[in-house]
A and B are shown apart, each in its own frame.
Chain A
Amino acid sequence: MTSVRTIALAAAFAGAVAAGTPALAQTVGSSVSGRIDIAGKQVPLPPGEFRVIAVENLSAQQIRGETTTDRMDLGPIRAVALAQVADGKVTAVVEIATNLLPYYDGWGTAADCNRTDLYAAISRYKSGFDVSCLYLKPVAVGGDVGLPGGSAAQRFATEQKASVGDFWLTAGLRNADRQDILDVRYSFDPAVLGAPARAAAAAAWAPAEIERNAAGLAAVKDLAAWAGRIAEPLDIGLRGRLESTSFPAIAGAASVDAAEVERAARTDALAALRDAGAITAQDYDRQMEALGGAATAAAAAGAAGWTYAQVAGWKAFTYRVIVTTINVGIDYAFVGRPFAAGVLVILQVVVNTTKFFFHEMMWQEVFGVSPLQREAPNVIEFSRRVVTASAG
């Protein structure tokens, strides 16, 4: 009964179809503050007024090991850059990339989210179909490393008669679900975080050295704490439901216990529902308990959600134990000599285990892992490689 009968409903439904692409109103030179809307998604901005300095289209690339593959089938990626000037200096640059076409199979994580040589790379959640991660890194401009915002930022600085530093701190956030993606990189001149720096002295800001740089450490901590608090609004913005236009300040962010702030906010929301009679006192208590055990709940979900690899591993182990026992009986029954039967059993155990491995490898090589089994997200980055520099 699950098979769908072929009926001409498409025409009847045509009028009900959600169509059209979200308005793309951002233009170079416009001013925004609080948050910016791009292709139906909302991105929270640091405090202050920002100017849109670049609007362009990029294309996606998938990175697998050392191989980079163009993924133009993912459609054009809208990239918007914004910058802020204070006291004659470009102090902040925000680079945003988001999809213009929805996809059907999930997007993927950012390469920086998988790095281990940064100040931090944190995965809030990750599956084959959705991801939320953030990372922090120093950016010393020079050589292959460009200025955040690129030539547009340089042009903007010139127009504003502002200076632009050559050392930056970047907090990158990647949020993606089955259909959509938001990649945001917030870059700041460390001077606005109370720790002026230049590329020439970048060594003192290296992740391995930062703990010996007190001012730098404080700045990085503030930025880390701020990025952690902005990740959730960004997650809401990915779904187009971000209503707030006011977000935490960066300065002093590390002195606030973000977990406690968020817990208090949720506690207030639950208390308001209880006071309004929307939930009973028992519901309130139960959910407060769940709130306290948020990590436990996630762990429980993980325990229930065995991964394909775990199940396969345990299945293979128990199967091997069973069939080896069977082989002992079969081999002895037909060979009749304990030593020869023992040799054969050992050969079977060794070769069959290896055989399974090589067969799996062969299938992986020829067919790859079925997307239906995918557990880890792809690594997707964006580039200007394609095609013409069209911008709206």
Chain B
Amino acid sequence: MRLFDCLFSRLLIATATCVIALGATVEAAEPGQTFTGRAEILGRQIPLPAGEWTVAGRGTNTLTSGNPGAFGTIENAILARRSEGRIDALVEINVNRLPVGAGWGVAGDCTRTDGLAAVAFYKTPVDGFCMFVVPTAVGDPAAPGPAAWSAVRPLLLQGGAPSPVWLTLGYRVSDRRDVLDVRYHLDPRLLGFRPMPEKEWALEAVLAAPERYSAVNQLTAWGSLAAALVENGFRGELSERATALPNPWEVKPLKEPMSAGAAVDSIVRNSRSQRLAALDELVESGTISPEDHAAYLKAIDEAPPPPNPDDYYRLLGMKVISFNFFRVSVDYILAFVVTVSNLVSSYITASIVAFHSVAQVFNDMWWDNYILAQTKSSSNQTDFVYIGVRAGRVS
């Protein structure tokens, strides 16, 4: 089999090397172009809040961290929306031109501990989807940014001085090949806040201010629901029928509270309700028979819900309790076998439990720190130049 070994090792190299696949070659989002509902860049669709959005800046971007491989360029577009003569919102988009082979990693803003919110919808070494809310110094006259930002910054000054700090709701969605980083920058005046310095939007300040806390919560809730559309758009599957997103402040609370989970379930492409709706469409179109429909419906109904971190931690807690019960019993029995003394066996067991617990904590901490250092050194985080973000993330 030597010939075959040779052949397939060559084949393996060939398949491990990324083939050129420019994907969608549609060069959308040129400066001056306007969009409503959604924008598209290199095959990825970005849902837009209500209003007309103009491509105010377009260029390529650079990486500030990470080494995902040969990605060609990061295409960057900045869309602006005007209201009453001034820009009140920006959408900053970054996508890769060439696919890579081993994933992109998370955005630094998804792992910040001082951000206003961060939600990881899923995360593996090869794909991930997260959302975050952070304040960004968009209105700072010296705010840095990608190349396209130089064309947009003067526009911000039209109609008066902009708020120094804007609220940014961002998403990072990536798979093994491609990445989409989209950030919705909103002037806080839209949410009824006067321009405030950066420190007023720091986490501690927001936690101490009920109105700002509420605004951030509302923005996070809006973002959680828009997330499904962002992910669909990343996959190029945003429906032609998709209409513009409502603005975060335009939605009203329900009289009867509905869980965010239930709300998300109503719109995510692969959520239970959307899968059932798609199943209904299949039977209505005659693709599957009513009998098939009933059988699949029953199976989906009876399938366990998707796993979530709460289930995981609940199970982990039970496992710890179970193991400790097991451990104490075994240690006591072993000690009794040797000492034939209840008292000494109890002392030994109690000492073992106490010392081992401490040892376990330190052992875990050491390994967690070691793995964390490995992860950081291998740049499992990839970032680009963003509007208003200086090196080391100072918004």
A residues near B, CB below 8 A?
1-10, 12-21, 24, 40, 57, 70-73, 75-76, 78, 100-105, 119-120, 122, 124-125, 127-130, 134, 177-179, 208, 210-211, 217, 221, 224-225, 228-229, 231-233, 235-236, 239-241, 243, 254, 257-259, 262-263, 265-266, 268-270, 273, 278-279, 283, 287-288, 290-291, 294-295, 297-298, 300-301, 303-306, 311, 314-315, 318-319, 322-323, 326-327, 330-331, 333-335, 340, 343-344, 347-348, 351-352, 355-356, 359, 363, 367, 370-373, 386-388, 390, 392
Question: Shortest Cβ distance from B3 into chain A, in angstroms?
Answer: 6
CA distance A387 to B293 in the complex (A): 9
CA distance A314 to B80 in the complex (A): 52
| Majority secondary structure of chain A interface residues (helix, strand, loop or mixed) | helix
CA distance A72 to B378 in the complex (A): 40
Point out the residues of chain A lying under 8 angstroms from B344, CB to CB. Answer: 334-335
Residue of B nearest to A389 (CB): B289
* Contact (Cβ within 8 A) B126 A130: yes
Point out the residues of chain A lying under 8 angstroms from B11, CB to CB. Answer: 120, 122, 224-225, 228, 258
* Contact (Cβ within 8 A) B18 A273: no
Closest 8 CB pairs of A and B: A304-B378, A8-B254, A72-B299, A258-B14, A232-B19, A73-B303, A18-B239, A4-B260
* Contact (Cβ within 8 A) B237 A40: yes
B259 at the interface (CB under 8 A from A): yes
* Contact (Cβ within 8 A) A13 B119: no
* Contact (Cβ within 8 A) A75 B359: no
Point out the residues of chain A lying under 8 angstroms from B259, CB to CB. Answer: 6
Point out the residues of chain A lying under 8 angstroms from B111, CB to CB. Answer: none
For chain B, residues 237 to 287, give those with C-beta under 8 angstroms from any C-beta of chain A. 237-239, 241-246, 250-254, 257-260, 262-263, 266-267, 269-271, 274-275, 277-279, 281-282, 285-287
Residue in contact with A330 in the complex, picked from B43, B102, B119, B355, CB distance below 8 Å? B355
Point out the residues of chain B lying under 8 angstroms from A279, CB to CB. Answer: 60, 72-73
Question: Shortest Cβ distance from B285 into chain A, in angstroms?
Answer: 7
Question: Shortest Cβ distance from B125 into chain A, in angstroms?
Answer: 4
**With known contacts A19-B241, A241-B236, A7–B251 Cβ distance under 8 A:** yes
Residue in contact with A129 in the complex, picked from B12, B127, B327, CB distance below 8 Å? B127
* Contact (Cβ within 8 A) B275 A5: no
CA distance A311 to B371 in the complex (A): 9
B28 at the interface (CB under 8 A from A): no
**With known contacts A7-B260, A100-B282, A278-B73, A20–B97 Cβ distance under 8 A:** no
CA distance A16 to B337 in the complex (A): 70
Residue in contact with A298 in the complex, picked from B16, B60, B291, CB distance below 8 Å? B16
B158 at the interface (CB under 8 A from A): no
